[in-house]
């Protein structure tokens, strides 16, 4: 919940120039829902995709304050974050609700970025693998192998989000490899190999190179650094 209309447009216009027409890296921005349509217009013709930060698990009806996937698609969203740690831990979204959102989004052709990750106390208790396995399995319940073409997984350890603390390269490598293995078990090795698994958690220009070098890290879910073009652009360059 950052920026106003003018500063959001300033940001994406700078990103549009920085990315140009390059096709060697995929970039997406996820503005607040009230700005999606204007940001999508500003990025028309650019390879930069526009997504939403959340969606409703219902298609339409008496759900005051919610925004449906059809509405998001109607105003130019191509992707949606589901299960972000702030939705899980501030607003209490449980795995079954997240799974319904995943299906709702996939059914209208939106790309899903499914976020998973453990709390600090869960890591310290040795429960990291159990937590991410449960979130992944439940979040992808009844999703088909074909639908996985439109799913990205984002591993975001909650203790590393906005704290300045970054998971070490060995920690990231271990969990991303574990997630790849889980996907292979849930689907097939071929499906697991083609699914993008992003790392999110205090990603900055000075650590992205090491993170991107990890074999099973396919990209970054960038938080605070994405709000400043001078920080976001070097991250894009390293990914490329």
Tell me which residues are annotated as active site. 84, 156
DSSP E strands in the chain: the ranges are 28-29, 49-52, 79-82, 111-116, 151-155, 196-199, 219-220
**Within 13 A of 106's CA, how many CA atoms are on the CB side?**
24
Contacts of 79 (CB under 8 A, 6+ apart): 28, 30, 49, 50, 51, 52, 110, 111, 112, 113
CA 178 vs CA 15, 64, 174, 214, 215: distances in Å? 33, 39, 6, 13, 12
CB 49 within 8 A of CB 56: no
Q: What are phi and psi of 76, to 5 degrees?
A: 110, 0
Q: What are phi and psi of 236, to 5 degrees?
A: -60, -45
């Amino acid at each position: 919940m950052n920026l106003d209309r003018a500063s959001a447009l300033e940001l994406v216009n700078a990103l549009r120039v920085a990315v140009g027409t390059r096709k060697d890296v995929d970039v997406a921005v996820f503005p607040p829902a009230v700005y999606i349509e204007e940001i999508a217009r500003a990025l028309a013709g650019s390879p930069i995709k526009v997504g939403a930060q959340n969606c409703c698990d219902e298609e339409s009806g008496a759900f005051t304050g919610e925004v449906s996937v059809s509405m998001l698609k109607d105003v130019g969203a191509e992707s949606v974050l589901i299960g972000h740690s702030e939705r899980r831990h501030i607003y209490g979204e449980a795995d079954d609700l997240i799974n319904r959102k995943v299906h709702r989004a996939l059914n209208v052709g939106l790309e899903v970025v499914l976020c998973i990750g453990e709390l600090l106390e869960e890591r310290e208790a040795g429960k990291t693998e159990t937590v991410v396995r449960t979130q992944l399995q439940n979040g992808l319940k009844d999703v088909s192998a074909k639908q996985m073409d439109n799913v990205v997984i984002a591993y975001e350890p909650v203790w590393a989000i906005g704290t300045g603390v970054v998971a070490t390269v060995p920690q990231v490598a271990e969990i991303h490899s574990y997630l790849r293995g889980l996907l292979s078990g849930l689907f097939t090795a071929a499906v697991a190999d083609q699914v993008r698994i992003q790392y999110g958690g205090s990603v900055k220009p000075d650590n992205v190179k090491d993170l991107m070098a990890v074999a099973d890290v396919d990209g970054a879910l960038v938080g605070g650094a994405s709000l400043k073009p001078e920080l976001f652009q070097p991250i894009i360059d390293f990914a490329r």
